Structure 1
Amino acid sequence: MSIHEECGVFGVFSPYTLDISSVVYYGLYALQHRGQESCGIVVNDDGVFTSHKDLGLVGEVFSRNILASLPSGQMAVGHVRYGTTGGTNRNNCQPIEVNHQKGKMAIAHNGNLSNAVKLRNELEMSGAIFHTTSDTETIAYIVTKERLTCGSIEEAVSRAMDVLDGAYSIVLMSPQKLICARDPYGFRPLCYGKTADGMYVAASESTALKAVGAEVIRDVLPGEILVFDRNGVVSRTEHCGKKSKKLCSFEYIYFARPDSVIDGIPVHAARFRAGEILAKHHPIEADVVIGVPDSGLDAALGYSKASGIPYAIGLIKNKYIGRTFISPGQSSRLDQVKIKLSAIEENVRGKRVVLVDDSIVRGTTSGRIVKLLRDAGAEEIYLRISSPPFLHPCYYGTDIDSEEHLIACRHSVSEIADIIGANALGYLPTEELKAMIGNGGYCSACFDGCYPTPIPSDTRKDRFEQKLSSKNKRK
């Protein structure tokens, strides 16, 4: 079983024609950490859609020749993907394109619908034929269905939001408009900005706006729909304020880049506070504090400051290896850990080390990192984790769907320390998440089991593939 994160979305609306695919390309590069499975760009040149999508990293999928083959245009949407539902195949690459009676549409989605199975079954019973196994196609079908009976694409999106449950941050493009929408809970981040020459840009994280020279205007509100066209930007708020805000707390712990600001909270600052909190709750006498690159580094700095223990670089990351937390397959994860990190022996040999990391899922990766430091001569290793223990599945975009695979569900803290080879282990207390993030508007269901929405009956990651397989066998 593999654990994936969600995706990254990016959209551009320009009042003039330009090499817009290059803008999206650089935006997706800044969001590459959110998805390394596949990526895609759809360009809109005066209502004519041209696209390229494939499996692989942004730099692999979009060579110089591919980018040159995409036309100039006034609008474009892009996507980087790690699937929480749907398999790893080219059919599931986004953005998804739709041709319908009232025109064309391209949609990119970040998140996971908690009522996806129910909606998909209803659509199939009404005659819909699905070509992918992702939630995004379900959203596209519902928006298209509503578009056939209402006056505008933004009204269709609003009506679709009446029936969608769970997490979705959407960037959608019609022939004339670019639309952004964030679910009423605000599970997943979405923001927008503007360049000096009048180009509007929307993205999952603020760092992607800065990468293309746009100034951040603000985050999209939970439940808000933004419509960009030649008249400017219009905000629709009929879905705002209906739910309590529940931004995924793991965005601050792990997913987002540290230079991003999400809903007004700098990610680096949140991680730094996590380290300070860890030092308060789990003090220890040690010689050096080191962090696991990349998301453990900020928390390690916070731990060092609060504890007074010197900080040092103890682990070097091979920058050309993807994030093991979101690698497809356990065997792949094991192989990558072997080449992803190396220890700086002079900083750990003979020392008592505080090792700070962002999370423990199965314990496999943590055990190998601890062994790496042992082999480098570390005398004692005290592992500190800047998140609470994973105890429950996630239904909103983080592919944690089976408690039997979560080490904290089967073992005590001291047992986990023994299993991974650490002298001691300390987690961030769940009740300290509010202090870490800086406000109470977050979801912590994977830690405490308090789900904001009804729990789906079928939570298997591969539920749609198994359904398709069963249908094929009956044939």
Structure 2
Amino acid sequence: MKKEYCGLFGIYGHPEAARMSYFGLFAQQHRGQESAGIVSWDGEKLCEQKGMGLVAEVFEEAHLGDHLKGDIAIGHIRYSTTGASQLLNAQPFTVRFGDTKLALAHNGNLVNAHELRTELEHMGTIFQTSMDSEVIVHLIARGMNQDGLCIEDAVAQACRRIKGAFSLLILANDKLIAVKDPLGIRPLALGRMNDCYVLASETCAFDLLEADFMRALRPGEMFILDRGGRQRSVQYVDEQKKKQCIFELIYFARPDSDIFGQNVYECRRAMGMALANEAPVDADFVMPFPDSGNYAAVGYAQASGLPFEQCMIRNHYVGRTFIQPSQDMRDLSTRMKLNPVRSMVKGKRIVVVEDSIVRGTTIRTRVKRLRELGAAEIHMRVACPAIKFPCYYGIDFSSKGELIAANHSVEDIARFIGLESLHYLSIDGLLSSVEYPKDFCLACFDGNYPIQPCKGAGKMCME
């Protein structure tokens, strides 16, 4: 199973900034279910509340109404791509240096974090966490304290040194600064709600708050909001050729969001239609494994003319599950989430549409269950190419050993999962399903990394 990375939300100029941040994070809960945090500025100090768990578990009314005061706030939900799963690594990360109180929330992953951390430690810097995000904070602090830069210039200087994927929200006293990396790998959008500004990883957060989407931040842009409603945009590096993460459209983003200028639902449906054209099969019906395969399965059914059926029923009341001590318990945990409709499966030829296959173990368990209920044939169609290369930019497959397609043929994978046939969408088919196909990073499929990882890039991922 792929694991989500992080979600950001920021708001400037709203009397209930923390409460709005709560709802903004709630709308993006799918992006990270490990920890959540909100930091607000009350005019004199930063107020923070962070915890392990879901947004609704971390925040209580007392936090939103009494503790997190002020009209500026940033929030973060996290799945760890670097740094251990513990409260110490929850974001936003807060520090104080001189007269500046600073909070930082980061979505993405730095490929030179280990290199920069080693350099800073040799200069005497003391780190509190194992997060790559803390490297950014220390670079900003050094820019202000040693080089005498203002906060905006210190942020720009720090962002020119870091390499990798990053969308940042920075709360520095009464300024809110948003930053995107030079290649625009991670999404970050700007909106407006009456007289206040909002920022979020996904536009579905704007919909919940009835905010108007204004625009996506540009690659290499720093956007600054300060008192008086002033807004400024600074291009801290020259714009480069975009390399946006295509997994946002394949899997990560909510289908009702617009990401990189296109609707996620429509892209996934188009991927399913392309898949049906590439790999038709004589079958009784098409079904997804909810929820990730739903919209590609709709497209496959529409293009193939086969009926679409929801034969796997999801238990919506199953939340996060603890790490199971045995394979039997892990299998039981998987079966708790999805259960087939017996009468629909027996004796049927089924096309199962999935968004992707990473390790194959979860899908194997689900296919086994369909076999137990008497499915005559199971054909799997995958709405993205085979994942053969690790991702260094924030997706939780950071080594080749984790990727079944990197080490086995399609025929071997089909046998391992228990399928009559298996087909992955071609790269050309994937790119035909999105607008501006040259703007996407395809490194996990073809190994062409837009930013080469530095020595030790994987080291912090294992801490």
TM-score (norm 1): 0.92
Q: Which residue of 2 aligns with 1:343?
A: 340
* Superposed displacement of residue 20, structure 1: 1.8
Partner of 2:77: 80
In structure 2, the CA distance between the partners of 1:137 and 1:194, relative to structure 1 (3 Å rule), is same
Matched pairs, number: 459
Please name the residue that 2:356 is paired with.
359
Instruction: Name which of 179, 182, 188 aligns with 1:181.
Output: 179
Q: 1:280 to 1:323 in 2, by over 3 A?
A: farther
Q: Please list, as runs of the form range in 1=range in 2, the aligned pairs for 1:189-268 lying within 5 A after superposition.
A: 189-196=187-194, 198-229=195-226, 230-241=228-239, 243-268=240-265
8 Å CA contact 1:190–1:202 kept in 2: the answer is yes
Distance 1:11 1:246 in 2: 24
Q: What do residues 145-176 of structure 1 show as CA deviations (whole Å, max 9, x unaligned)?
A: 11233443222111111101000000110112
Q: CA deviation at 1:314?
A: 1.2
Pair 1:8 & 2:37 matched: no
The alpha-carbon deviation at position 135 of structure 1 amounts to 0.9
Structure 2 residue runs of 5 or longer lacking an equivalent are none
Q: Tell me, yes or no, if structure 1 residue 114 matches structure 2 residue 111.
A: yes
SS of 1:162's equivalent in the other structure is helix
Q: Matches of 2:213 and 2:461 in 1, distance apart?
A: 38
Show structure 1 runs of 5+ residues with no match. 466-475
Please report how far the alpha carbon of residue 318 of structure 1 lies from its aligned counterpart in structure 2 after TM superposition. Answer: 1.7
Task: Map 1:369-384; keep pairs closer than 5 Å.
Answer: 369-384=366-381
Q: What per-residue deviation string (whole Å, max 9, x for no partner) do you get for residues 265-306 of structure 1?
A: 111111001101110111101111111211210000000011
Alpha carbons of 1:226 and 1:8: their partners in 2 closer, same or farther (altered >3 Å)?
same
**In the aligned structure 2, how far is the partner of 1:71 from the partner of 1:398?**
31
Change (3 A) 1:323 1:351: farther
Q: State whether residues 38 and 53 of structure 1, in contact with CA within 8 Å, keep that contact through their aligned partners in structure 2.
A: yes
Offset, 1:327: 8.0
* Conserved 8 A contact 2:103-2:170: yes
Q: Cα deviations across residues 20-66 of structure 1 (Å, max 9, x unaligned)? A: 21111111101110000101011111132111111111111112333
| Equivalent in the alignment of 1:95 | 92
CA contact (8 A) 2:191 2:213 kept: yes
Question: Which amino acid in 1 is paired with 2:409?
Answer: S
Q: Which residue in 2 is equivalent to 1:471?
A: none
Residue 394 of structure 2 is matched in structure 1 by 397
Q: Which moved more, 1:426-435 or 1:301-310?
A: 426-435
**8 Å contact 1:43–1:70 — kept in the other structure?**
no
Residue 69 of structure 1: CA displacement? 3.6
Aligned AA for 1:455?
A: P
**Is contact 2:378-2:419 (8 Å) kept?**
yes
* C-alpha separation in 1, matches of 2:304 and 2:142: 58
2: CA distance, partners of 1:346 / 1:105: 58
- Partner deviation per Cα, 1:217-257 (whole Å, 9 max, x = no partner): 0111111110012233211124241x210111111100000
In the alignment, the residues of structure 1 paired with residue 324 and residue 28 of structure 2 have an alpha-carbon distance, to the nearest angstrom, of 19
CA spacing shift, 1:322–1:406, aligned 2, 3 Å: farther
Residue 49 of structure 1: aligned partner: 46
* Secondary structure of residue in 1 paired with 2:104: strand
The whole-number CA distance in structure 2 between the counterparts of 1:27 and 1:327 is 29
* Counterpart Cα distance in 2 of 1:333 and 1:447: 28
State yes or no: 1:453 paired with 2:451.
yes
Q: Using the TM superposition, name which of 199-208 and 59-68 deviates more.
A: 59-68
1:154 maps to 2:152: yes
TM-score, length of structure 2 as denominator length? 0.95
Does the residue aligned with 2:352 lie in a helix, a strand or coil? strand
Q: Distance in 1 between matches of 2:422 and 2:143?
A: 52
Alignment partners' CA distance in 2, 1:330 and 1:86: 25
Q: Distance in 2 between matches of 1:457 and 1:103?
A: 33
| C-alpha distance in 1 between matches for 2:277 and 2:28 | 33
Sequence identity (%):
42
Amino acid at match of 1:228: L
Deviation at 1:464, TM superposition (A): 6.2
Distance 1:327 1:256, change over 3 A: farther
